[in-house]
Amino acid sequence: MGFTKKHIFTNQINTIANYTKVIGHPARVAIIQHISENKDCNCNDLVKAIGLAQPTISQHLAEIRKTGLLNQKVKGKNLYYTINKGQLNECRRVVNDFFVKTQVNCSK
C-alpha cells in the first residue's frame, strides 16, 4: 500500500475524500442501500443479498464503519448493522456543500 500525504490537506478535504471513497465503490453503495432497506442486517444477510464472498463483504463493512455511517450491535455471536442516521446526514451535508461551493465558484 502506498504512502498517503493526507497530512498536507485540510480536515475538511480529507473528510470529503473519505465519504466519497465509501460511496465510490459499487459494492459499498449496495451494502449501504441494503442495510437502509433491511434493519439489522448481519454479514451473512449481505452475502446472500449482494453475492460477494463473506471476507469481501467484511472488508467493505470495515471501510464503511471507518466513516461512522454504520451502527453495529452484537446479538449472540453475530454483528448486526444499521445506518447511523446522524452520520448519514452529516455525510450528505458535507458532500452537498462541497458541490454547491464548487458550482458557485465556477459561476464567478
Q: What is the average pLDDT across 48-65?
A: 97
Whether 7 shows a pLDDT value over 90: the answer reads no
Edge-to-edge strand ranges of the sheet holding 70-75: 41-42, 78-83, 70-75
70-75 and 78-83 strand pairing: antiparallel
Other C-beta atoms lying within 10 Å of the C-beta of residue 2? 4
Whether 99 shows a pLDDT value over 60: the answer reads yes
Signed CA dihedral, 80, 93, 28, 60: sign only: negative
pLDDT digits (tens, 9 = 90+) for 64-91: 999 999 999 999 999 999 999 999 999 9
User: What pLDDT is stored for residue 1 in this prediction?
Assistant: 46
Better-scored residue on pLDDT, 26 or 7: 26
User: What pLDDT is stored for residue 79 in this prediction?
Assistant: 94
Enumerate domains of the chain plus CATH numbers: 7-107 (1.10.10.10)
Q: What type of residue is 18?
A: N
